[in-house]
Amino acid sequence: MIDNKRLLMLMASGALLLSNLPANAGDLPAGNLVLTRSVYSGTAGTVTVGQALPGGGNATVNGSYPYVWANEAPDASFGITSPIMLDLLTVNGSPLNSVNLTNEAAALGVNLSTSFSSKSEMAINQATDGTGAFTLMGYIAPINTLDVSNSNTPANVDPTNPVAESFQRAVAQINIDGSLQITPVDSYSGNNGRAATLYNGIYYMVGNAGNGSGTEPTNIVNNTGVQITTPGGNANTTVVGVQNGTPGSKNGFEYGYSVVLNGNTADKSGKDDNFRGNTIYNNTLYVSKGSGSNGINTVYQVGAAGTLPNFATASSTPISILPGFSTTLASATSTPTHPVYHPFGIWFASPTTLYVADEGDGAAYTSSSKTHFGGLQKWIYNGTTWSLAYTLQNGLNLGTQYSVAGYPTALNPAADGLRNISGTVNGDGTVTIYGVTSTVSASTDAGADPNQLVAITDNIFYQTAAAAAGESFTTLKTAAYGEVLRGVAYLAPVDISSQVSVTTSDFIYSRATRLYTCTMTITNSGSTTINGSLATVLDNLPAGVTLTDATGATGSGSPYISTSSAVILAPGASTNLMLKFSNPSNQSIAFSPETYVQ
């Protein structure tokens, strides 16, 4: 097994440079997945019955999982911090390794944690600017600390927040060399940072702020929505968005988007920009809003297409709803013609195809007001406007309870939709999207339910629900007792063919097996060490020749073979793979190798 630093290096190098990808990304071997996860670490003694809770009231149950969340009745801000785990999985969900990021941060002298039941946290994004770094958000707080997700931040205190304690939020960055960098920020006071993406030295963050009563203070409104800072930079981040309304106003004071822009009456200041999903595509930032009773639950574009905001342009950057997406108020009653969606993760398959995770409305499936929108939405752009082609739900088993070993049957959860997603474009005209599910259950807080990691393959050319009727989700992983799954990122292998030389020995024929075998040697001919699992694609094999011990095949049909585990190849070092071929016609065997690291 590789050590923690090796795992961090493998994850950071998994999709190092988009510029390293071939023109046809379907010619790559299968990649891997990075999954963020948390494990409840409290005990009965973490909370004692009768103790005063930070957000008000006294505890009615102790700290034992899963009933501890009943303390949300006396304390609406109740939560408990827990460790951040990163899992490396195959695309089939098989575990490769895991690292406790909280422990890695502790080695740097930093308390890094998440809030266990906060469902909108720990999205994980990989930079596409050439750094290959992963980023996610958490808290600078010890595990098993109460009510951190609704605490103030030290530099932005809301005197009306019932949770008087203060903790910084933080961006955790995993670098290509396996190092971990933690940047504390004072953003999102009173609530949580949801996601961060690094691009050209700037963190683009989204989240929500405010947990007080009455009018939101100006410093809290300044503290929400899209925020930017630099790695290791100022904890006082910069809000992105044109100012709407008047500072100090109860309603209508927003940075970026305001419902007034769509002809609606101003609502609570600071809450129209309660964003949670973000992605950067074609040098443009996109964000989603899907929770809260204010604003509009939809997908937004931040700034002009092709232009990312920076510190100089942050205050003049507009935030607008993508044309064609919902403009229905979150507080409205959902109807077929004016639906209220609950967008979460967003992923572009192409400039004209956008997949949006819908979390579902969280209502019980016995409720007459249930909207049944949860799932994976596919939106298509015609050059002027976006339109919803269909929503993929088959295989999610929405509303159907599933069991988890050791979990109380009465609390068994059911999927309600999707939260964070990631995907890859295959070489056969399809895309595969990976996502973590949202849930409904009898638990006091469905955010603490053991949820699932799922995947679906969609034909990118389909434009109707009827065409996609045969597509279905598969479940790759179900969280165990005391676990929650949060974010997922697909790691495409990186082409290192220019850094290696590939040679083969003479072929040997076995009369017993009727196979031709040879040894393929991969040598690091570059000047830097290669770290990771290697996969070599055998292009241009003669017709009728089959690699019988292939690990898999690319989307275009070429076989590939992978090392059984990660390798470390210093410059000049080599590793060997045995190749076995079926060759009924006894013809000359030749191929064009392409080698990838993942």
Taking the C-alpha atoms of residue 254 and residue 155, their distance in angstroms, rounded to an integer, is 20
Confidence of residue 555 (pLDDT cuts 50, 70, 90): confident
The strand ranges marked E within 213-306 are 225-229, 238-239, 243-244, 254-255, 277-281, 284-289, 298-302
The strand ranges marked E within 146-251 are 169-174, 180-185, 193-199, 202-207, 225-229, 238-239, 243-244
Taking the C-alpha atoms of residue 413 and residue 446, their distance in angstroms, rounded to an integer, is 8
The model's pLDDT over 499-523, given as tens digits with 9 standing for 90+, comes to 999 999 999 999 999 999 999 999 9
Taking the C-alpha atoms of residue 237 and residue 130, their distance in angstroms, rounded to an integer, is 24
The model's pLDDT over 308-327, given as tens digits with 9 standing for 90+, comes to 999 999 999 999 999 999 99
Cα 477 from chain centre: 15
Rounded to two decimals, the pTM is: 0.87
| Cβ proximity of 140 and 112 under 8 Å | yes
Q: Which of 454, 299, 302 is CA-nearest to residue 387? A: 299
pLDDT at res. 15? 36
Q: What is the mean pLDDT of residues 11-16?
A: 44
pLDDT at res. 10? 52
Which ranges in the chain are annotated with CATH 2.60.40.290?
Answer: 497-597
The dihedral region occupied by 343, where left means phi > 0, alpha psi between -120 and 50, and beta the remainder, is: beta
Which ranges in the chain are annotated with CATH 2.120.10.30?
Answer: 31-42+80-494
For 31-42+80-494, the fitting CATH number among 1.10.3720.10, 2.120.10.30, 3.40.50.300, 2.60.120.430 is 2.120.10.30
The model's pLDDT over 144-185, given as tens digits with 9 standing for 90+, comes to 999 999 999 999 999 999 999 999 999 999 987 778 999 999
Which top CATH class is 497-597? mainly beta
The model's pLDDT over 116-142, given as tens digits with 9 standing for 90+, comes to 999 999 999 998 887 778 999 999 999
Confidence of residue 423 (pLDDT cuts 50, 70, 90): very high
pLDDT at res. 131? 79
- The Cβ of residue 250 has, within 10 Å, a number of other Cβ atoms equal to 13
The model's pLDDT over 244-256, given as tens digits with 9 standing for 90+, comes to 999 999 999 999 9
pLDDT at res. 30? 63
Contacting residues for 466 by C-beta, under 8 A, at least 6 apart: none
